[in-house]
Amino acid sequence: MPACWQRSGPNLSRLVVVERGGERLQDELIRLARNEAGDLGGNVIVPESVIEEGRQSFGVYRCPD
């Protein structure tokens, strides 16, 4: 199996505006992480923390297709 290369670990902390249910917040954080991953040249995101105060860190990786 080919290796993946880590691109970055964006912290999506800017999404703390309105109270939301946990599932909706998780969906929004994942959507933001995927968008940022594409901008960084990554194609895989991996959560690296739990959601805390509306924030969650993700690792961004570039893996072979």
- What's the CA gap between 19 and 64, in Å, rounded? 38
Residue 9 pLDDT greater than 70, yes or no:
no
How long is the chain?
Answer: 65
Q: Enumerate the β-bridge partners of residue 45.
A: 60
Per-domain residue ranges for the chain? 5-62
pLDDT for the residue numbered 43: 92
Note whether 62 and 41 are within 8 A (CB).
yes
- Taking the model in full, what pTM does it have? 0.70
Task: State the alpha helices, DSSP H only, in the chain.
Answer: 22-39
pLDDT tens for each residue of 35-54 = 999 988 999 999 999 888 88
